[in-house]
Structure 1
Amino acid sequence: MNGAADLVTVAHGTRNLDGNQVSRALAAAASARLGVSATAAFVELSEPLFADVVARLERPAVVVPLLLSTGFHVRVDLPDAVSRASAPVTLGAPLGPDPLLARAQAARLVEAGATPGQRVVLVAAGSTDEAATSDQLGAVALLARAWRGPVELATLSGHGPRPAEVVRPGDAVSPYLLSPGFFHDRLRRESPEGAIVAEVIGAHPLVVDLVVERAQQLAPQLVC
């Protein structure tokens, strides 16, 4: 079908090429599902930059941030770029926390060899924004429900305990990260021997479902 609005996804961006490819894969899969044009944009570190994309729009667009919690980019950078858009833009909320992300995390844990119910530490990139901490705790609760087992929180920066303080040998580690890159590499280095570290959430089919769902909420005419 042809919608009245295009789709733009926006991720943080990374110098890791595989990490940026996750965002592009999600945008392409959502585009195919919705039957609309889609662009994968980035806040920084990769092109096209989100500010440039919205500045040269020729049609209305809905924007689905591929960001897992509230923070400076969500509160300041994205709205600022949208304010200078060349066509009407509807900006969505961060992708997380959400039950679909939790289910995708649970699937990644099983793929890594974790046993349902095993103690899990959800590790987020972290932030000094209190709203981000609240979102991360929400993600912990959702993963505990999907995993049906205990889940603790650790962060790699900002507020919260570090993985070294929380992860024990025999634990499973669920990266609350959409893409591979600096934080996932660091998490693998800092996790104790004997801990199972799952892959990042990535372009899991459930994440595609979530991107499509968010786009449809922003523009109800985008119905498959």
Structure 2
Amino acid sequence: MTGGVLLVAHGTRHPAGARTARLLADGMAARLGAPVALAYADVRGPSVAEALEGMPGPVTVVPAFLASGYHVRVDIPEQVRRTGRTDVTVTPPLGSGSVSALLPALVDRLAEAGVREGDVVVLAAAGTSSPGARAEVEGVAARLGRLVGGHGPTPIGWAATAGPRIEETVASLRASGARRVAVATWLLAPGLFADRVRASGADVVAAPLGPHPSVLRLLTQRALSAMEPIPGCP
């Protein structure tokens, strides 16, 4: 592929979260055989606009987000727009339309955490006020439920913004008689939200997806395909 690649993560003050973002960028670079720059949508720098200042074009921006929330729909395109550049393409986010490709990472992280047969599995996600982003997470829960339980959708608990919160979902399942509760973490990296999930009171809490091969494979495919830009973005 020609031009540069900019991976955009959410941003966190958590050192492990920053390290994970760097691992994602480095893993993409190894697969692409070319450098991958890293920027953040919030909390820490460089911002998208700052990172683009020093990049020759054309540039493919890959949002490392599991759902199409505010940063994906509004913030990142606006940061690109403010640069005035017309040679930047923003791909769909990591999780958009690609649940099947990421399910192996979710299931592997559960297994690594020690999930057992008979555990009640809950899906924990960051939380969003966007109905579309919520629907994307509900789609993940439906597919995960078929994989780990063979029946209906996996219950969802949110780390912020939406309800029920993850600790409420875990408590409700215990009150309903669940002996062990395992949480599948639909987050990319350690940070505030992952800390809340770990404190949910579940017996088993899977780690964030991080640089799982399925994640790196899909991020790389996003860059290589340079899919249609997000509407309204140059």
Q: How does the TM-score come out when normalised to structure 1?
A: 0.88
- Return the alpha-carbon distance in structure 1 between the equivalents of residues 45 and 131 of structure 2: 29
Give the deviation of 1:56 after TM superposition. 3.4
* Aligned equivalent of 1:161: 164
Q: Indicate if the aligned counterparts of 1:43 and 1:51 stay in contact, CA closer than 8 A.
A: no
* Aligned equivalent of 1:102: 103
Give the deviation of 1:160 after TM superposition. 2.9
Q: Indicate if the aligned counterparts of 1:69 and 1:132 stay in contact, CA closer than 8 A.
A: yes
Kindly report which structure 2 residues correspond to 1:118-137, keeping only aligned pairs within 5 A, or say none.
118-137=119-138
- Return the alpha-carbon distance in structure 2 between the equivalents of residues 209 and 40 of structure 1: 17
* Aligned equivalent of 2:114: 113
Residues 149 and 115 (structure 1 numbering): CA distance in 2 closer, same or farther, change over 3 Å?
farther
Counterpart amino acid of residue 163 in structure 1:
I
Give the deviation of 1:146 after TM superposition. 4.1
Give the deviation of 1:143 after TM superposition. 2.3
- Return the alpha-carbon distance in structure 2 between the equivalents of residues 54 and 84 of structure 1: 11
Give the deviation of 1:116 after TM superposition. 5.6
Q: Match of 1:84, SS? A: helix
Identity of aligned residues (%): 38
The CA deviation string for residues 22-46 of structure 1, in whole angstroms up to 9 with x for no partner, is: 1111111111111222111101222
Stretches (4+) displaced over 4 A: none
Q: Tell me the number of residue pairs that the alignment of Structure 1 and Structure 2 aligns.
A: 215
Cα root mean square deviation, aligned: 1.9
Give the deviation of 1:84 after TM superposition. 3.2
Q: Do residues 173 (structure 1) and 217 (structure 2) align? A: no
| Structure 1 segments unaligned to the other structure (5+ residues) | 220-224
* Aligned equivalent of 1:18: 16
Worse-matched range after superposition: 4-13 or 55-64:
55-64
- Return the alpha-carbon distance in structure 1 between the equivalents of residues 143 and 39 of structure 2: 28
Aligned residue among 180, 204, 208 for 2:216: 208
| Structure 2 segments unaligned to the other structure (5+ residues) | 228-234
* Aligned equivalent of 2:89: 90
Q: Indicate if the aligned counterparts of 2:4 and 2:56 stay in contact, CA closer than 8 A.
A: no
- Return the alpha-carbon distance in structure 1 between the equivalents of residues 225 and 147 of structure 2: 24
Q: How does the TM-score come out when normalised to structure 2?
A: 0.85
* Aligned equivalent of 1:52: 50
Q: Match of 2:12, SS? A: coil
- Return the alpha-carbon distance in structure 2 between the equivalents of residues 67 and 127 of structure 1: 12
Give the deviation of 1:165 after TM superposition. 2.7
Residues 145 and 30 (structure 1 numbering): CA distance in 2 closer, same or farther, change over 3 Å?
farther
Q: Match of 1:207, SS? A: helix
* Aligned equivalent of 1:4: 2
Residues 5 and 16 (structure 1 numbering): CA distance in 2 closer, same or farther, change over 3 Å?
same
- Return the alpha-carbon distance in structure 2 between the equivalents of residues 65 and 16 of structure 1: 19
